[in-house]
Amino acid sequence: MTTAAATPPSLPPLVDPVESLSRTELERYSRHLSLPGFGLQGQRRLRAASVLVIGAGGLGSPVLSYLAAAGVGQLTIIDDDVVESSNLQRQIIHRDDDVGRPKVTSAADAVHRLDPNLEVRTIEGRLSPENALGLFGEHDVVIDGADNFATRYLSNDASELTGTPLVWGTIFRFAGQVSTFVPGHGPMLRDLFPDIPAPDSVLNCAEGGVLGVLCGTVGSAMATEAIKLICGIGAPFIGRLLRYEALSGEYSTLRFSPDPDRPPVTDLTEVAAACAADLDGGGMAEPAADEIDVAEFLSVEDDVLVVDVREDWERELAVIPGSVHLPLGGLRDGGWQALESALGDSGRAGSPVNIVIHCKSGARSAEAAQILSGSVPAGVRLRSLAGGIDAWEDVTRASAEQRDQQPAASAAQRPLSSGAGLVGQS
């Protein structure tokens, strides 16, 4: 990697233009047609283009909206999630009425409202080692708006193997990054970040937060990159990483080059293992040595002290009964003494023998366990709840639903009788 200055490369257009545009299309895209260097030919190329968008969330929302409005002819949307109310703060392609619907369905409706003639294909699922190469090979450009490391590296490797250009972007809290990878025309993601991070090594948006409007800034830049590639205009972010810090309002560019010592991607073996690990992170994997899964936690719940390291407002949404509250920031500052103080304030003074720490999904509680591990008194067992309160809610909700169904099932299995005297008999 290097920060040395270099001339940004220009590339020929990716797509041959359609033969013509209708009168309606000429009117619709007239502001494009008058652009120097873009014009009618550029708009005809957009109409001929097919783009795969990975993720219909924070980044996918502006990407899909602007590509549909710009006149791209065919969009494929892949996402396995459903719309939640917490998405609406940044995922502007979805509306309140869409909560509970598959994101791909909601997004398809939205882009069709922009362009009824747009060809849209939806895939309600994840990009996987099984489908990635085929999907990449079917499209002119791929835009990666995924929210996990495994998918980002899968996208890179599929791009390298198929030769399909990839536009890549990330957001976290108040910062975002964008780059473009074109195999054979510059460095790839693995030249910039060689190794796949562990699934929970960095907080996700749910744990760490994200400024909603940041998605618009970064997603719009990603859509612009796709249009530049399709039409062969300007200089894409090849060998450049655009960095944006929202709080300072500053943009910066890191230039990087291919790593001559990096082995080329030859198959998806490594990234397939990462994808499997990421899926297991949803609760199917064996817990780490310093973790406890929900099933075991529920079996010993009465014998442990539960410490909640989330923020005050999060406890208003859900809480594990009897838990002691100590936000992670307090643990960072005060360590074990902060926990002892919190126990005293809650009337639970003294050193407990068995402590389970939880957060929303497990990342912050793992950090808390690590912070306390060096100062925990002898004889105290300290563990992080795998999957956090999200996993606890899923399991307890499923158990409650199962209990609710059992009486109805038992009644349905009993033989009917016309004897009124049998009512109430066991």
Residues that are catalytic: 205, 359
User: Would you say 139 and 15 are in contact if contact means Cβ atoms under 8 Å apart?
Assistant: no
Angle at 31 between CA 26 and CA 34, to 5 degrees: 90
The encoded tokens of residue 340 equal: 């002892």
What value, to the nearest 5°, has the Cα angle with vertex 227 and ends 223 and 229? 115
Instruction: Name the maximum alpha-carbon separation found in the chain.
Output: 93
Strand partners, 243: 177, 252
Provide the token pair at 32. 């494009």
Q: Closest Cα partner for 265 from 78, 129, 134? A: 129
Q: What 8-state DSSP symbol labels residue 172? A: E
Q: 397 Cβ partners below 8 Å, 6+ apart?
A: none
Cβ–Cβ under 8 Å, residues 365 and 388: yes
Give the number of other CB atoms < 10 A from CB of residue 36.
6
Which secondary structure element, helix H or strand E, spans residue 358, and what is its range? strand 354-358
Q: What is the DSSP string of 309-338?
A: -S-HHHHTT---TTPEE--HHHHHHHHHHH
Residue 252 phi, psi dihedral angles, 5° rounding: -140, 160
| φ, ψ at 84 (rounded to 5°) | -120, 160
Q: Which residues are CB-neighbours of 263 under 8 A, at least 6 positions away?
A: none
Nearest CA to 251 out of 186, 159, 181, 176 is that of 176
Q: Which residues contact 371 (CB under 8 A, 6 or more apart)?
A: 331, 332, 335
Pairing of strands 354-358, 381-385: parallel
